[in-house]
Amino acid sequence: MQPRIGIRREDKSCWERRVPVTPEDARSLKDEHGVEVYVQPSPNRAFSEAEFRAAGAVMQEDLAPCPVIFGVKEIPLEQFAPGKTYVFFSHVIKGQPYNMPMLQRILDLGCNLIDYEKIADDQGRRLIFFGRFAGIAGALETLWALGRRLAWEGAPTPLTAIRHPHAYRDLAEAKAAVAEVGAAIRAERLPEAVTPLVIGVAGYGNVARGAWEILDLLPIKSIEPEALAALEGGASARHVIYA
């Protein structure tokens, strides 16, 4: 029998667009390794059904023919099937109470669980972890929240134009939107009530570098922390201060 894997539809969060296997991966699995890829339809996934079909994947609701099923986030209890292998972020390795029923269900059905968090190299270093895109999404979400908070406090800023990360079609569209906000800050100035608007980024790893991909689209002015006390609001109204 030809080996098969299934790609489940993500249903934990309405904004979840990630997929564990891309159309390019599906094509490689089929052409180079003889693995059939079955994909559940989804209206939210970053890749379209047409892209998966063009790559040779089988689009269908029923993943019963697949002994191994891949996902991203946790799976509802009623969707596990006896004896199958599931690959996803299970969030159980720390004994998280809210996922113990799911882990018990996996054990009761005699399933195998392969958790992305436990995939490591020979030195025990994780191979799947938060990286650049986590920083990008986190920066967008933070700017979205800040814009609405300031507006709620009676000091609306151009930041209110920023949307949730999942609301953008792709990264290029998100970056274009942030760049427009940056141009508006330069042209319109920030309200005096919120200046100087100061941000900080902790760390220098992949997540931080992803965050800076977004923040650098704003009119950033970098200063030393000890200079913060001397800043005057009006003088920094066309910039976001980084210290």
Which residues carry out catalysis? Answer: 73, 91
Residues in the chain: 243
Rounded Cα distance, 86 and 111, in Å: 7
Q: How open is the CA angle 228-230-233, to the nearest 5 degrees?
A: 85
Rounded Cα distance, 110 and 32, in Å: 31
CB 56 within 8 A of CB 30: yes
Helix axes 171-188, 132-152, angle to 10 degrees: 40
Cis peptide before 196 (omega within 30 of 0): yes
What does residue 31 show for φ and ψ, rounded to 5 degrees?
-75, -35
Q: How open is the CA angle 228-206-237, to the nearest 5 degrees?
A: 30
Half-sphere CA count of 175, side-chain side, radius 13 A = 12
CA 223 vs. chain centroid, Å, equals 30
| Residue 224, burial from CB neighbour count under 10 angstroms (0-12, 13-18, 19+) | exposed
* DSSP, res 223: -
